[in-house]
Amino acid sequence: MPSRFTYTRRVAFAETDMAGIVHFANFYRYMEEAEHAFFRSVGRSVSEHQPDGTIVGWPRVSASCSFKSPAFYDDVLDIQLIIERIGVKSLTVRYDFMRDETLLARGVMKVVCCVFQPGGPMESIEIPTEFAAVLEEDGETVD
């Protein structure tokens, strides 16, 4: 499995409530930001247009987040992405939200590799072998 991939971001004022605490829904946005950054870091995208006009994408089938300690306006968060499981058609990804050494939250998302036909329904497909090979390599850190 890949080593930890870390995405770093600063909490914006608009992401907080009147007490300056990050609203819980933003953690799901942060997971998605980290996922997109990870895909880019390995030369891929969460939405890849194919020559035949189809799109290969990764819709969510489940997402959860447990909160341990609040995050505040202007905090610098390190979001550690860990691929916990590579299935035939799906990935299970864990997200650890860190402020320095403090674990603020832990999220998990399961995504499924799908092909989207123009004007048609989406269909789950096996993870392409060339992408699965990239997932087996080490991740890296980005800001």
CA–CA dist 136, 91 (Å, integer): 12
The SS3 of residue 82 is strand
- Per the model's pLDDT, the better-predicted residue between 120 and 96 turns out to be 96
Closest to 86 in 3D by CA, of 119, 57, 111, 54: 111
Segment 92-98 shows an average pLDDT of 97
Q: Which of 17, 74, 138, 143 is catalytic?
A: 17
Q: Tell me, what CATH number does 69's domain have?
A: 3.10.129.10
Residue 73 token pair? 């306006």
Domain contains 143: no
Domain contains 39: yes
Closest to 82 in 3D by CA, of 90, 73, 70, 94: 94
CA–CA dist 68, 76 (Å, integer): 16
Domain contains 58: yes
Confidence of residue 6 (pLDDT cuts 50, 70, 90): very high
> Considering its fold, how many domains does the chain have in total?
1
Known catalytic residue at 17: yes
Domain contains 87: yes
Domain contains 18: yes
Per-residue pLDDT tens over the stretch 60-88: 999 999 999 999 999 999 999 999 999 99
- β-pairing, 114-116 with 122-124? antiparallel
For 40, the domain range is: 5-138
